[in-house]
Amino acid sequence: GMKQELFHRHKEAQQCCRPHNLPLLRAAQQREMEAMEQRIREEQRMMDEKIVLELDQKVIDQQSTLEKAGVSGFYITTNPQELTLQMNLLELIRKLQQKEAESQKAFS
């Protein structure tokens, strides 16, 4: 990856560097490596935030859809307790649907 390439470039630079310049070169390279690691961490953080935002949007879309469908207990909220309640409601609905499907199979 990028770090690997940087490492090789640094090695090459060190080999053709005059010995008395080596400490300076190494210090500069160290700063460059740290800057790259910082950038990678920053990009990772932004990616994580983007994923969280997308998930939040999916939850909101789902709440909105269920509310429009007239399913009671569903409305747009970010309150953790209300979200937990909504997830439990969804789970209950899913179980009821399974039971419904199973009883229909039994009678068919």
DSSP 8-class letter at 51: H
* Structure confidence at residue 2 (pLDDT): 87
Residues 99/105/106/107 CA torsion (nearest 10 deg): 110
Structure confidence by residue, pLDDT tens digits, 33-50: 999 999 999 999 999 999
DSSP 8-class letter at 18: -
Domain boundaries along the sequence of the chain: 2-76
Residues of 22-59 as b/e, b for ≥16 C-beta within 10 angstroms? eeeeeeebeeeeeeeeeeeeeeeeeeeeeeeeeeeeee
Using the predicted structure, report yes or no on whether residue 26 has a pLDDT greater than 90. Answer: yes
Mean pLDDT of 93-107: 89
- Alpha-carbon separation of residue 13 from 34, 35, 47 (angstroms): 17, 18, 33
Tokens of 68: 């429009």
Structure confidence by residue, pLDDT tens digits, 53-64: 999 999 999 999
